[in-house]
Structure formats: C-alpha cells, structure tokens
Amino acid sequence: MPLYLQKDLENGNRIAVWQTTESVEELSLMAGLCEEDETKLLSFRLESRKKEWLAVRVLVKKLLGESPRIHYKNTGAPYFKDVDMEIGISHTRGYAGIALAPFRTSLDMEKATPRIERVYQRFVSEQEMRFIPHEGRIEYYNLIWCAKETLFKLLDRRDVVFKDNLKIVPLTISDKGQITAEVVFPDLKCEVTMGYEVLPDFTLVYYIKHTGDDI
C-alpha cells in the first residue's frame, strides 16, 4: 500500500498522496466501489486514468474510514453529498492526491519539465518574472503554475485569468515552505496562504488559509 505522503494540518485540512503501483484490480478491491462507480470505472479507456481515479477513492477510504461517492459539479469540482466534508483532487503521472477539510479546500501536483517554458507566459505575470532567477526558472514556473491551479480549484469560478487575477507574492523556493497569493476580482479581494513541497517526482501545493473576502 504505497501511501506516499500524508499531512494533517493544524487547521483540519488533511493532505494525502498515493503512488499508483498496484494493478487496477488491486486498487478496485481496496477502494470498495459502489455499483455506480464500478460502472463509471468501466467507461475509462486508459489504464493510467483508471488507476488515478481509483487511487483517489482508496485515499478517501483510508482517511475517512468509509467510501462515500464523489460527485462533480458542472465546473468539474468534486464534492460529497453524504459526508460533511470538502474534497480537492489532483493527479500527476503515477500519483494521485486529495485534500479533505471541513471547509473548501484544494491542491495541485505537477512534475517540473522543460515543456513549461513553451507556455509560462500564459500564466506568469511581468511582476512575477522579476523574482524568478534564470537558473531554476523551470522550478519556479512549475511552482507558480501549481499555486495558481490550486487557487483556480479553490475559487471554482470560470472568469479567472491567471496572469491578472492571481498574483504570487515574491518568494525564494526551498524544499518546502509557504506561498502567499493575492486574489483580485472586482467582487473579491483576499490573500491566500498555501503550503508547498518540492518532491523528487512532482511539486505539491495545497491550500492553508485566506484572509479578506470570503471565497
């Protein structure tokens, strides 16, 4: 059972990551799927998609001790109907992660690769470019992407422009730490604190708290 990481934060947010080394059959047994989810599993064509989907359910069962069904809003945001708990979900190659909390929560995981240099201008602002060193820029781009994806999932709104509405406060990357971001919309202004870890296979970012307007 490769539970890769588990963090229980002081504010009640719980973060867990599973490394998907088991077979689809093994994960399915561990997840304890209901009939509807067994049918849903059959609709996925790729084995990797089946594994990451199942690993999320395995993590929920491990952290909650039960297997409530995960539903999805029209926006794609996951939620429970039968459990008084909020959930955030993320995947990256070979891993699946969840965040569980009694309040809205989110997380994101992504492996840093040179491909991000092709697209960083879509989400990194000119202000953010000022604190990014040339050497190590890929790691910074990746961390900023993960942080803004975490915010995007947390906000659950479709009018988000990453460069304009989500502003990362200058930081220096270490193995782990915190990121502060300013969320700016005409109807919403707040400051969000996120935690991060730079792990061997991916970078993990997760929501901690916010101050200002309610999200």
Q: Which residue in the block uniquely carries the two structure tokens 């005409």?
A: 186
Nearest Cα neighbor of 27 from 99, 95, 111, 100 is 95
Identify whether residues 20 and 91 lie together within a single domain.
yes
Identify whether residues 191 and 162 lie together within a single domain.
yes
Identify whether residues 29 and 41 lie together within a single domain.
yes
The first and second tokens of residue 130, run together, are 């000022």
What is residue 213's predicted lDDT score, i.e. its pLDDT? 86
Identify whether residues 29 and 7 lie together within a single domain.
yes
Nearest Cα neighbor of 202 from 5, 2, 1 is 5
- Domain carrying residue 114: 108-212
Last residue of a domain, one of 105, 124, 149: 105
Identify whether residues 53 and 128 lie together within a single domain.
no
Identify whether residues 90 and 130 lie together within a single domain.
no
Identify whether residues 91 and 7 lie together within a single domain.
yes
Nearest Cα neighbor of 172 from 125, 198, 140, 203 is 140
| Number of independent structural domains in the chain | 2
What is residue 197's predicted lDDT score, i.e. its pLDDT? 98
Q: Hey, is 110 helix, strand or coil? A: strand
Q: pLDDT by residue (tens digit) across 28-52?
A: 999 999 999 999 999 999 999 999 9
What is residue 102's predicted lDDT score, i.e. its pLDDT? 95
The first and second tokens of residue 32, run together, are 């304890």
> What DSSP character marks residue 49?
H
Last residue of a domain, one of 57, 81, 105: 105
Identify whether residues 21 and 55 lie together within a single domain.
yes
CATH code at position 36:
3.90.470.20
Angle (nearest 5°) at CA 58 between 56 and 60: 70
Identify whether residues 49 and 131 lie together within a single domain.
no
- Quote the pTM value: 0.96
Identify whether residues 126 and 196 lie together within a single domain.
yes
What is residue 1's predicted lDDT score, i.e. its pLDDT? 60
Q: What number of other Cβ atoms are within 10 A of residue 23's Cβ?
A: 13
- With 0-12 / 13-18 / 19 or more C-beta atoms within 10 angstroms meaning exposed / middle / buried, residue 134 is exposed
Query: pLDDT averaged over consecutive 10-residue blocks of the chain (215 residues)?
Result: 91 96 96 95 96 98 96 96 96 97 97 97 98 97 98 96 98 97 97 97 96 89
Identify whether residues 96 and 117 lie together within a single domain.
no
